[in-house]
């Protein structure tokens, strides 16, 4: 009887102390939310942060809808906020605050048996826009090019459009894959395939990274690679309290180590 009572007391105290903890709700990008931010959150808790995390990664656009609705404390986005999203938040009375967290490099990959090793930036645009339809046009072995892209709600989809394609539409021959993994597996099985993935996936077997204008994606020289992009955390208003502690942690030395380990480039390496 006594032991039951004690057990009950312990459970109740645990429940109450859990209640006392603050919960950070983080919403947004799949690129960041798949691995990077959860590992950061885990490490933050381990080093003594009295906080619990609730992370959902359903695409960069969801960061801003959640911030605007007040259902998230932090939004993560692999692209900069769009003008209409800022407007949406403003109309809800929320001033969006942007914090750069890490850099990502979009890596263009082809099948490992493809003789092509380097592409001009213009050619990348023409391939993904559907102007170049055959590898022989670029001096490769003849064969129609199969283009694999992310699906339309992905921030990477949009970023690639602005960075590599001057805002042009993807060609109608492009195939929209659900995630990086799927692109890797299709490109590795299709001798004429080409696609793009996050840098963390560049080492997968069966694919080959092509350099763009002679530059390979390289964490030591991010700025010289044309498809490098910053990724962001967004808060409503200036961060304070636990939110500020967490963000400072991410941008500190411990955060940097985790960022490099998950295939991103920490800001400290950018200087």
CB-count exposure of residue 179 (10 Å: 0-12, 13-18, 19+):
middle
Q: Please, what is the minimum distance in Å from the beta carbon of residue 67 to another protein? A: 12
Residue 59 interacts with another protein (CB under 8 A): yes or no: yes
Binder to another protein among 97, 151, 211, 260 (CB under 8 A)? 151
Stretch that binds another protein, among 73-81, 99-107, 178-186, 241-249 (CB under 8 A): 178-186
1: three-class secondary structure by DSSP: coil
**Strand 193-198 with 228-236, pairing:** unpaired
Stretch that binds another protein, among 160-168, 215-223, 238-246, 256-264 (CB under 8 A): 160-168
Indicate whether 178 belongs to the interface with another protein (CB under 8 A).
yes
Among 11, 23, 117, 136, binds another protein (CB under 8 A): 136
Eight-class DSSP state of 145: P
What's the rounded Cα separation, in Å, for the pair 253 and 106?
24
Q: Is 263 helix (H, G, I), strand (E, B) or coil?
A: coil
C-alpha angle 52/50/244, rounded to 5°? 85
Of 31, 61, 235, 262, the one binding another protein (CB under 8 A) is 61
CA angle 267, 264, 148 (to 5 degrees): 135
Binding of another protein by 39 (CB under 8 A) = no
* CA gap 161, 62 in Å, rounded: 19
74 neighbors 234 (Cβ within 8 angstroms): yes
Applying CB under 8 A, the span of 12-20, 70-78, 85-93, 104-112 interacting with another protein comes to: 85-93
Stretch that binds another protein, among 3-11, 91-99, 240-248, 259-267 (CB under 8 A): 91-99
Residue carrying the six token digits 């906020």 = 81
What minimum distance in Å lies between the beta carbon of 181 and another protein?
11
- What DSSP state is assigned to residue 223? G
How far, in Å, CA of 237 to CA of 86, rounded? 13
If binding is defined by CB under 8 A, does position 205 make contact with another protein?
Answer: no
**Which residue lies nearer to another protein by CB, 48 or 139?**
139
Signed CA dihedral, 15, 35, 28, 79: sign only: positive
Instruction: Kindly tell me which of 130 and 230 has the beta carbon lying closer to another protein.
Output: 130
Least distance between another protein and beta carbon 242 (Å): 27
Distance in Å, CB of 172 to another protein, minimum: 4
Chain contacts with another protein (rule: CB under 8 A): 58-59, 61-62, 65, 83-84, 87-88, 90-93, 126, 130-134, 136-137, 139, 142-144, 146, 151-153, 157-158, 161-162, 167, 169, 172-178, 185-186, 189-192
């Amino acid at each position: 009887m006594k032991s039951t009572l004690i057990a009950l007391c312990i459970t109740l105290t645990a429940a109450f102390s859990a209640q006392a903890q603050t919960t950070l709700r983080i919403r947004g990008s799949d690129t960041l939310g798949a691995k990077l931010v959860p590992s950061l959150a885990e490490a933050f808790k381990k080093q003594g942060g009295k906080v619990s995390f609730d992370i959902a990664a359903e695409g960069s656009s969801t960061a801003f809808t959640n911030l605007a609705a007040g259902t998230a404390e932090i939004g993560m986005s692999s692209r900069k906020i769009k003008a209409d999203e800022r407007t949406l938040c403003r109309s809800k009375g929320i001033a969006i605050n942007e914090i750069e967290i890490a850099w990502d490099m979009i890596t263009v990959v082809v099948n490992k048996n493809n003789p092509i090793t380097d592409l001009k930036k213009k050619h990348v645009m023409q391939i993904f826009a559907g102007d170049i339809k055959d590898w022989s046009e670029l001096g490769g072995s003849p064969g129609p090019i199969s283009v694999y892209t992310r699906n339309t709600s992905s921030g990477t989809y949009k970023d690639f459009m602005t960075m590599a394609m001057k805002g042009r539409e993807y060609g109608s021959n492009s195939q929209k894959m659900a995630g990086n993994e799927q692109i890797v597996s299709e490109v590795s099985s299709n001798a004429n395939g080409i696609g793009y993935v996050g840098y963390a996936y560049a080492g997968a077997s069966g694919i080959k990274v092509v350099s763009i204008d002679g530059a390979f994606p390289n964490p030591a020289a991010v700025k010289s690679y044309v498809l490098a992009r910053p990724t962001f955390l967004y808060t409503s208003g200036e961060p304070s309290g636990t939110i500020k502690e967490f963000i400072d942690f991410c941008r500190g030395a411990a955060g940097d180590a985790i960022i490099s380990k998950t295939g991103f480039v920490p800001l400290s390496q950018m200087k």
